[in-house]
């Protein structure tokens, strides 16, 4: 097993928490794409949105994703909007990408008070965004993980098992 693992899903789906867990279990390195962008740009995501707008952020998101693809043994936690850029969908689809799927209300309760997420607005606006993106996550992933009602540990084990199965199959 050496390929990178990419985690995608809406805001609040636990991409970072799970990414760290999976990386520790597999002895991979963990990269959070938002942190990667912030470190390279020496600013915050909120500041990037406020000063330069979402489209500048999206370009940085694609170039950062492209930086990481040639590397090995990484677990990459992406930002929730990675799939709004069509190029990213084909990049992710060509990799091992898990879509962490939760019910909207679970996600809303986790992110509704977060002032650092520039796209978190009213319940209705966020629900519309979720509905618009749902199909894009499915297009970009290689496997949907139904997360509702499961603990981080259970989801981690599910993903590790899928990686092991893929590895066993590819060694024949």
Among 1, 68, 74, 119, binds ligand S3P (CB under 6 A): 119
Q: Which two tokens stand for residue 5?
A: 């693992």
Among 23, 79, 88, 98, binds ligand S3P (CB under 6 A): 79
What is the x/- site pattern for ligand S3P, positions 20-59, by CB under 6 A?
Answer: --------------x----------x--------------
Q: Which residues of 142-166 are buried (b: 16+ CB within 10 A; e: fewer)?
A: eeebebeeeeeeebbebbbebbeee
73 closest CA partner among 99, 98, 96, 39: 96
Q: Which two tokens stand for residue 111?
A: 């992110």
117 binding ligand S3P? (CB under 6 A): yes
19 binding ligand S3P? (CB under 6 A): no
Is the CB of 26 or the CB of 117 nearer to ligand S3P? 117
Long-range contacts of 121-127 (CB under 8 A, 24+ apart): none
Q: Which residues bind ligand S3P (CB under 6 A)?
A: 11, 15, 34, 45, 79-81, 117-119
């Amino acid at each position: 097993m050496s390929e990178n693992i990419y985690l995608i899903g809406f805001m609040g789906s636990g991409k970072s928490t799970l990414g760290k867990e999976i990386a520790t279990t597999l002895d991979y390195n963990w990269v959070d794409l938002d942190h990667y962008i912030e470190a390279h740009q020496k600013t915050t995501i909120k500041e990037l949105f406020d000063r330069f707008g979402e489209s500048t952020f999206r370009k940085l998101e694609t170039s950062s994703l492209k930086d990481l693809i040639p590397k090995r043994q990484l677990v990459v936690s992406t930002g929730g909007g990675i799939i709004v850029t069509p190029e990213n969908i084909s990049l992710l689809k060509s990799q091992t990408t898990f879509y962490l799927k939760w019910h909207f209300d679970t996600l809303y309760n986790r992110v509704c008070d977060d002032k650092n997420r520039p796209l978190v607005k009213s319940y209705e606006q966020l629900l519309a965004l979720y509905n618009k993106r749902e199909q894009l996550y499915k297009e970009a992933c290689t496997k949907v993980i139904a997360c509702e009602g499961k603990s981080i540990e259970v989801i981690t084990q599910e993903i590790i098992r899928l990686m092991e199965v893929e590895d066993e199959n590819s060694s024949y």
